[in-house]
Structure formats: C-alpha cells, structure tokens
Amino acid sequence: MTHLKKPLAAAIALWVLAACSQLPPPAAAPAPTVAAAPPAAPAPLPDAGPLLHIDTARSLIAVTVRRGGVLARLGHDHVVASHAISGTVSPSQNRADFTFRLDEMKIDEADLRQIAGLDKQPSADAIEGTRHNMLTKVLDAERYPVVSVHAQRGAAGQPLQVAITLHGVTRTLAIPVALREENGAITVKGTVNLKQSDFGLTPFSVMAGAMSVQDQMELRFELNAR
C-alpha cells in the first residue's frame, strides 16, 4: 500500500497544478473614480455704472448729399435725417452705443434744408423718388436696415473714436466734438465728412454719370442723453 500512495499523491499534485494553470487571470481592479471639478465661475463683468439713454426727441443725425456730373444743374442736393436714434451712454466707461434704421430716415425736411443752405425745395414726387433710389439702389436697406455706431472718448479735448457700421462695413474715424455735461445729462455735437465708397456704396447716377450724387457726404449730429 505504501508503494501505491506515492504515485497517487504525485498524480493528484500534477492534476492540481494543471487545473490551476487553466484558470483565467484575476480581473484588474477598476480605476478609482475621480470627481470632475466644478466649472469655474465666470469672472464678474466690470460695473458699467449708471447708463444714460439717448433722448430721441432731442437728437438728430443729418446727412447732406450734393449733386454732381455735367448735368448737375438739373438735379437737387438733398438732406437725409434720422430722428429715431436709440442707444445708451456709459459716462463711467466713456462710451456710447446707438443705432438707427435707414427706412425711418426723413428726406428733405424744409427746416433742415434751410440749415444746410439749400434753398430750393423739391416736390413731393421728387422726394419720394429720392427715397426709393436711396433705399433700394444705393443703401440696399432691405438687406442692411440698421446703422450702428460705437463711440469711445479718450482724454479731455481729444476727438471721439467713432466706429460706424453701414452696409455691413465698419469704419473708425476720429471726430472732433463739442461735449457738454450738465445736471446728469450729456450733449454732443459735431460734423464730419464721409465717403459713400468707404462703406462699399456706389453713389447714385443716371445717364452714364451725367447726373449723379457726389461720393462725399456731410454728416452733422446732435445727440442728447439723460
């Protein structure tokens, strides 16, 4: 019996070793879960301070366009004006942002023509024709209905830095102004010459340019905010 126990014990040992070699390796321990950090809070916006609002009833932007071409004597000079200006002024940030719509502008108001030194008043039909040509053939007002303006004031006595967006084009100009602050209200007045072509506009003309509108525009403005 002793001689049989040794081979039997060896066989059992071999069987146990073979069985162990076929066992699958233990599964890897799952990686520890790391909680995502909460999103950082947005930085607080700088305090803009109290905002003043453009006083539409006391504000005006008026543009004078003059006739050109060899047959200029047969045409008219025109004054185009906006009385519907909306926007805000931030005195603490020395900035203003405002807009006006092209299709709300008035054509050849008698008092504004007189201020511009234009004596002859066009007929109602001529004014309506000017309005149609301006909005559809020059300004493309259906596609670009709004003019937006951003103004930034620097040191006292320096011109305003004014970015004007018209017809999808933005131009920045340095414009000298007369600025008055009184009883919490601000009044700004000034004039500047612009070119239609600077904004991608083609001045209106007929008869191969024999009658046309000059490229240069004279812009006068008075803005009141309170």
Euclidean distance between CA atoms 55 and 149, whole angstroms: 16
Residue 88 has pLDDT above 90, yes or no: yes
- Rounded percentage of the chain residues whose pLDDT exceeds 90: 73
What pLDDT is recorded for position 40?
Answer: 60
Euclidean distance between CA atoms 103 and 175, whole angstroms: 25
What pLDDT is recorded for position 48?
Answer: 60
Domain boundaries of the chain, sorted by first residue: 52-225
Residue 21 has pLDDT above 50, yes or no: no
The tens digit of pLDDT for each residue in 103-123 reads 999 999 999 999 999 988 999
Record: fold of 52-225: Lipocalin (2.40.128)
Q: Is the pTM of this model over 0.85?
A: no
Confidence of residue 170 (pLDDT cuts 50, 70, 90): very high
